[in-house]
Amino acid sequence: MEAIRDTLANREAVEHAIGRHGWCAEHNFWHFQYNTDKDEESYLFRFEDDMGILASHCEKTNIWTMFSEVLAPESKRLGLLLAFLDYVLREKKAKKVVVELESAFRQDVLRAIKGKYRACKPTMTLVWPVFDMAQWNPSLPGKDWKKQRNHLNTFYRQHTVKAVPSADLPSKQLRAILNAWKKNRPKTDRTYSSHYLNAIKANFEGFDMTRTLLIDGEPCSITGGWRIPNSDTYYSAFGLHNYKYDRLGEVTNIDDLNELKRRGHATVDFGGSEGGLLEFKKKFRPHRFYETVTFSIRLP
C-alpha cells in the first residue's frame, strides 16, 4: 500500500484508479476535491492493480475520513479496507476513522473488525432512490400522476420556461440560487452546502451535465451530475432551487428525469437523503432504494 498525499497534485493517479475501479455514485475526482475541507489533507491509498481508497486527514484532530467506498472489485474491498484501518489506527495513531458504507458491506466490516477495533454507533443513515429509466414515462400517465401532471401543465402554461447549462451562467446568479435554497431549507433537514459552493466556483469541473431552468428569464434552479464510472447510471449530485414558485422542486426534478431519459441513461441515482428530503424524492416513485451508513471506527 502506498499513501499518496495531495490528490490534486496527483490527479492523474487518482483519476486512473477511479477510471479502472470506480463503481459508486461519489467516485468522482472533482467531487472528492469539493468535499475536502480547507483544514484537511487529501490522500489516495494505492494498492496493487491501481485499486485504492480516497481519504482526508485533519492534522489538528487526527481524524481520518474515508471518502465513499473502496475503489476495487467487490471481492477485494474488505481486505483493502482492513489494511487502511491498520495503517491509520495502528501506525498513525488516529483518534478515529469516519466511513460511509452500504449497509450490507458494513455488516461484513463489523464482523471482520470484531475484537480488534471498535465500531461506534451510526451518526447518519441515508437512503438512495434509484430510477429505472426504461420505466420512467415523461408524460406522467394515469391517475397516480394526475396532481403532478396538472400542476406541470398549469406551470408551463403560466410561465416561459427554458433550460440552459448552469455552467454557462454567471457565478453570482448561481450563488443567489444556492443562498435562497439554504435559507428556505427546513431546520430539521441537515444541509451541507460547502461542496455545492466549491463546484460553482470551479464552474462544475467534473460534471457531465448541468441544467438551470430560466423561468420568465430568471435562473431559478441548479441540477447536475455525472455518469458513475464503469456503469450506465447517472448520479444526480446537484438539486437546488430558489423556492420562488410553488412546487418548483417537482418541476425541476421531473425536467431533469425527462432530460436524462432523452440522453439514454439506463438508471438514475438521486442521491442519499433522510427526513423530509427523502420523502420529497419518493414523490417521483423511484424503482428501488439502497442504504448507506456513516459511522466511526476506533481502537478498542
How high is the pLDDT of residue 191?
Answer: 58
Instruction: Report the first-to-last Cα separation within the chain, whole angstroms.
Output: 24
Q: Are residues 42 and 132 in the same domain?
A: no
pLDDT recorded at residue 185: 81
Nearest to 240 by CA among 232, 230, 248, 231: 248
Last residue in a domain, options 101, 119, 137: 119
Instruction: Give Cα 211 to chain centroid, integer Å.
Output: 17
Rounded distance between C-alpha atoms, residue 15 and residue 38, angstroms? 21
31 and 83 fall within a common domain: yes
The pLDDT assigned to 149 comes to 96
Q: Does residue 297 fall inside a structural domain?
A: no
Instruction: For residues 192 and 280, state if they share a domain.
Output: yes
List 296's β-bridge partners, or say none. 98
Domain-located, residue 152: yes
- Which residues 6+ apart lie within 8 Å of 46 measured at CB? 1, 2, 4, 13, 17, 52
Task: With residue 185 as reference, give the H or E element that holds it.
Answer: none
Do 111 and 140 share a domain, yes or no? no
Cβ atoms of 98 and 66 closer than 8 Å: yes
In which region does residue 62 sit, left (phi positive, over 0), alpha (psi from -120 to 50) or beta (all else)? left
pLDDT given at position 187:
65
Look at residues 102, 119, 136 and tell me which one is the last residue of a structural domain: 119
Full domain range(s) for residue 49: 2-119
Domain total of the chain = 2
| Successive 10-residue mean pLDDT values, the chain, 300 residues | 96 98 98 95 97 97 98 98 98 97 98 97 97 97 95 97 98 97 75 86 98 98 98 96 96 98 97 92 97 97
Q: What pLDDT is stored for residue 168 in this prediction?
A: 97
What is the helix (H) or strand (E) element at residue 38, kind and residue range? Answer: none
Q: What is the CATH number of the domain that holds 42?
A: 3.40.630
Do residue 158 and residue 286 come from a single domain?
Answer: yes
Distance in angstroms (rounded) separating the CA atoms of residues 292 and 300: 24
Helix (H, G, I), strand (E, B) or coil at 283: coil
Cβ distance 242 to 181 under 8 Å? yes
Same domain (yes/no): 50, 80: yes
Residue 299 inside a domain? The answer is no
Cell numbers for 172, please give them. Answer: 453570482
CA nearest to 23, candidates 99, 75, 61, 93: 75
Q: Can you give the pLDDT at residue 193?
A: 78
